[in-house]
């Protein structure tokens, strides 16, 4: 049972369904909706960060999340979808109505509603749920990962580029296996045996000062955090390689980190019990963590185009 006082849902005043604000317990989906029965559902996980000094909440890369949301619906041939401008307005409205003054996470979903067979394209319903979500304590501590025996999904089977809930069965299997084996998380390999990504984030390795990440053709979600890391590296003139990554490179890397909206930039201290460098949070990882933290909280001018202020009038 969930302890209610620790349950972030206790802080939710309202959620949004098809643009209408309502209490969470009134937001219901039909058991006949293809979004449920055929997993015809796409989503985005977005963070917004509280800046205490400015008394402002900044949504991180909102337009990029909306663009990816549209691409997911396009690939799955959802029809008569709401405009991105409208969804953006509804997200802002949702946050304002909840009046959050802390770090939050926003879950946006688009799904085939009502009833019908698996290939039906409409009606599309949307939902927005926002709730408090502080940074994970593992951001400072790091995690220990294993290479999964589950294979990452392929683009021509169940494309990971689409942020569809159906793809998370693959992530679920890998996560459960990793935890049952005593690890914190998993790294999946592609059908060609190359490094793909983790169940909910992308992988970066640092070798001899070069940062290396599997390319967008490695069965990964086109991660917004991954893109942010690449752009920060460019600004800092750090050499980057986006390419095929071998499993054994994980075992000889100086540093490894896991990245995504939820994890932000999470150090990976070991893979299959082989330490990355000295098995501590490395200098390059720490540098990206620091820069990322400054950017998301609106503390650097040159990346301010990535953040959307909520309370600014």
Name the CA dihedral angle for 45, 51, 57, 61, rounded to a multiple of 10 degrees. Answer: -50
As a whole number of Å, the end-to-end CA separation of the chain is 41
Among 261, 285, 289, 308, binds ligand PMP (CB under 6 A): 261
Under the binding rule (CB under 6 A), the answer on residue 309 touching ligand PMP is: no
Q: With beta carbons less than 8 A apart as the criterion, state whether 34 and 118 touch.
A: yes
Under the binding rule (CB under 6 A), the answer on residue 159 touching ligand PMP is: no
Among 8, 19, 45, 159, binds ligand PMP (CB under 6 A): 45
HSE on the CB side for 190, CA within 13 Å? 21
Number of residues that bind ligand PMP (CB under 6 A): 14
Under the binding rule (CB under 6 A), the answer on residue 153 touching ligand PMP is: no
Nearest by Cα to 271 from 253, 292, 296, 291: 253
Give the whole-angstrom CA distance, residue 85 versus residue 212: 35
Under the binding rule (CB under 6 A), the answer on residue 223 touching ligand PMP is: yes
Give the whole-angstrom CA distance, residue 115 versus residue 37: 9
DSSP conformational letter for 232: H
Shortest Å distance, C-beta 105 to ligand PMP: 11
Under the binding rule (CB under 6 A), the answer on residue 221 touching ligand PMP is: yes
Cα separations (Å) of 224 from 31, 74, 144, 152? Answer: 32, 18, 23, 19
DSSP conformational letter for 197: -
Catalytic residue among 143, 163, 194, 291: 163
- Judged by beta carbon, residue 14 or residue 46, the one nearer ligand PMP is 46
Give the whole-angstrom CA distance, residue 133 versus residue 105: 6
Under the binding rule (CB under 6 A), the answer on residue 197 touching ligand PMP is: yes
Under the binding rule (CB under 6 A), the answer on residue 148 touching ligand PMP is: no
- Judged by beta carbon, residue 216 or residue 238, the one nearer ligand PMP is 216
Under the binding rule (CB under 6 A), the answer on residue 264 touching ligand PMP is: no
Under the binding rule (CB under 6 A), the answer on residue 42 touching ligand PMP is: no
The question of whether 163 is a catalytic residue gets the answer yes
Shortest Å distance, C-beta 67 to ligand PMP: 11
Under the binding rule (CB under 6 A), the answer on residue 260 touching ligand PMP is: yes
Task: Please report, as ranges, the residues that interact with ligand PMP according to CB under 6 A.
Answer: 45, 171, 197, 200-202, 220-221, 223-226, 260-261
Q: Which residues are catalytic?
A: 163
């Amino acid at each position: 049972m969930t302890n209610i006082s620790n349950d972030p849902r206790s802080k939710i005043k309202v959620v949004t369904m098809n643009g209408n604000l309502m209490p969470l317990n009134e937001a219901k989906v039909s058991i006949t909706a293809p979004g449920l029965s055929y997993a015809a559902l796409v989503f985005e996980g977005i963070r917004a960060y509280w800046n205490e000094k400015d008394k402002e909440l900044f949504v991180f890369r909102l337009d990029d999340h909306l663009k990816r949301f549209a691409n997911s619906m396009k690939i799955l041939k959802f029809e008569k979808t709401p405009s991105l401008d409208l969804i953006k307005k509804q997200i802002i409205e949702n946050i304002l109505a909840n009046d959050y003054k802390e770090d939050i996470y926003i879950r946006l979903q688009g799904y085939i509603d009502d009833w019908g067979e698996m290939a039906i394209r409409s009606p599309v319903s949307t939902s927005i749920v926002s709730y408090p979500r502080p940074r994970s304590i593992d951001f400072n501590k790091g995690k220990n990962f294993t290479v999964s025996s589950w294979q990452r999904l392929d683009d021509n089977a169940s494309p990971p580029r689409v942020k569809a809930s159906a793809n998370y069965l693959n992530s679920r299997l890998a996560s459960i296996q990793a935890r049952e084996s005593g690890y914190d998380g998993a790294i999946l390999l592609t059908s060609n045996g190359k490094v793909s990504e983790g169940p909910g984030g992308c992988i970066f390795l640092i070798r001899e000062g070069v940062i290396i990440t599997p390319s967008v053709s490695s069965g990964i979600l086109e991660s917004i955090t991954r893109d942010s890391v690449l752009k920060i590296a460019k600004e800092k003139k750090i050499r980057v390689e986006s390419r095929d990554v071998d499993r054994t490179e994980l075992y000889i890397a100086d540093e490894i980190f896991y990245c995504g909206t939820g994890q932000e930039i999470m150090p990976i201290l070991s893979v299959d019990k082989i330490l990355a460098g000295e098995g501590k949070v490395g200098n390059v990882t720490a540098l990206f963590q620091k820069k990322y933290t400054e950017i998301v909280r609106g503390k650097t001018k040159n990346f301010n185009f990535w953040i959307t202020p909520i309370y600014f009038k």
